[in-house]
Amino acid sequence: MGKNVLVVGGVACGAKVAARLRRLDPERTIRILEKGDTLSYAACGLPFLVGGTVPELKDLITTPVGVVRDAHFFRAVKDVEVLTGHLATRIDRAARVVTAVETATGEEKSFPYDQLVLATGASPVLPPLPGADLPGVTPLWNPSDALSMKQALDAGSVREAVVVGAGLVGLEAAEALVERGVKVTVVELLGHPLAALLDRDFGALMAQALRAAGVDFRSGTRVTGFEGEKGVLSGVRVEGEVIPAQLALVAVGVRPNVQLARDAGLEIGALGGILVDRQGRTSDPDIFAGGDCVQTFHALTGATVRQPMGSTANRQGRVIADNLAGLDTPFGGVLGTAVLRFGKTTAGRTGLSEEAAREAGFDPVGVTVTNADIPHFMPGSAPLVLRLLADRSTRRLLGAQVFGPGRGDKRLDVLATACACGATVDVLADVDLAYAPPFSSALDVVTHGANALRNKLDGRMDSCSPSELRERLEEGAVLLDVRSPSERKEQGTLPYDGVVSIPLGQLASRAEELPRDREIVAFCKISVRGWDAVGILKGKGFRRISVLEGGVVGWPYGLVRE
């Protein structure tokens, strides 16, 4: 086994490879070539640096005890040689040599290797639009981008900003700008924010949260260029309008950095990333690759995917180091798990969407529930909307989404674990989750969701999601609101004519006010009483009764006030 390991790239995956490999093999020679001047920094923290939550850049490049992770640190603590400002330009696989240019001097150097690791990352996609080269048009991808934005904000030169793209980075940046007092417009070509993460209903909930925070969110809108005055950005041009802006953040995706690998003849996958096996090996057995530059596979389907996330890069770095050290450690794939905080709102997903599950050959059945994260009598109790998806025949959990001011992150982690372990909804419903009033209700929202999905799979409950309700109404369904009059006045109601309002306590005696020849869709604040209404009406001989999933709290398409 070769002793000389060369790593190209020293941010997430590359730094993890070096650190893990040193622990496994104290005698190995390990060297990192990094084209930039900053090592092992927390790139996902850059929006929080812009917003001021993270005070200084050094906070993103230090250890928990405050030691800067620079070349000296890697040499002194890890016994790893790091050469910053060195751009790798060519791989000679036959000679096992990497050629790099020292960017400060232009000097070309050669670095031999026995085993090579490519952790070259990705680059932000910057559409070639008119005015894209104006100062003020920028991605948020590296420390210099963040520091430039922060400097402009600190100087007070940014009053209005446009964020192009409503993905994770775009929305985190939008929050940072809102926190700095900037008027923010978010422009998204697709139909709702976080379109790669959330389905239509949850995306609509996210759009509501953006607008409630003062963000001008525009879906289905295409940017056609950037305009400037005297060489300075003044606005972002969309179809038929120019939105005033002194800052335009472009966050429409990233492209894997694979040219070095491509030029060396390594195999590139169909999605544009370097092709690797589950041990991180490329088509050359002595060259490994990981992080944003590779494509990987979905743990539930085996399908080829890309997941450019810091968490994925670190996991892959550990796998690569293990295999370099002779341990046969496979990478377990990804679930597409991601989470976002915007203001007081948490939004996230793990596993498959309904569409992806169907394309993969599953027969997906989903349900949405709404409940408080902790009991209503505890300070800070807040609602959480949860959607679960399972396969009809195997009952295996396929995916989940969370949204709301309630504590969604820990629920999302439970659900990601359940998906990874192949748990069924029946197992999920009976998991012994931690309970105490400061942390959860006696039956957690995850448990409620699993039980609701069991009822649906077993044919005990018919329900419809908000996006499915319109079709039911067009087929003649009647909406039944079982809240009290005071609740309706305080919370608002659904924006449809003909809603029948009968408080739950009066339903048994007033059931004959409802038509028996049409479907009844019952709802309340969170539709728990809607489920109670189903039992009452079935006892009265009604046969076509369903529940509106999520209730009023989970309704994403606007409410009307009485």
Residues 173 and 251 sit within 8 Å (Cβ to Cβ): yes
Amino acid at 405: P
User: d(Cα 528, Cα 441) in Å, to the nearest integer?
Assistant: 15
Report, in angstroms and rounded to the nearest whole number, the Rg of the chain calculated over CA atoms: 27
Buried b (16+ CB within 10 A) or exposed e, 1-37: eeeebbbbbbbbbbbbbbbbbbeebeebebbbbbbbe
Structure tokens at 209: 């949260």
Question: What is the DSSP code (8-state) at residue 275?
Answer: P
User: d(Cα 97, Cα 90) in Å, to the nearest integer?
Assistant: 8
Residues 119 and 7 sit within 8 Å (Cβ to Cβ): yes
Residues 494 and 552 sit within 8 Å (Cβ to Cβ): yes
* Beta bridge partners of residue 369, listed in sequence order: 386
Structure tokens at 360: 């993969």
User: d(Cα 58, Cα 143) in Å, to the nearest integer?
Assistant: 10
User: d(Cα 465, Cα 557) in Å, to the nearest integer?
Assistant: 12
What is the 3 state secondary structure string of 101-168?
A: EECCCCEEEEEECCEEEECCCEEECCCCCCCCCCCCEECCCCHHHHHHHHHHHHCCCCCEEEEECCCH
For residue 211, the tally of other CB atoms under 10 A from its CB is 12
DSSP per-residue string spanning 310-363: HHHHHHHHHHHHHHHTT-------B---EEEEETTEEEEEEE--HHHHHHTT--
Structure tokens at 417: 């674990």
Sole residue written with tokens 């030169």: 157
Amino acid at 280: G
User: d(Cα 209, Cα 345) in Å, to the nearest integer?
Assistant: 7
Please list the active-site residues: 524
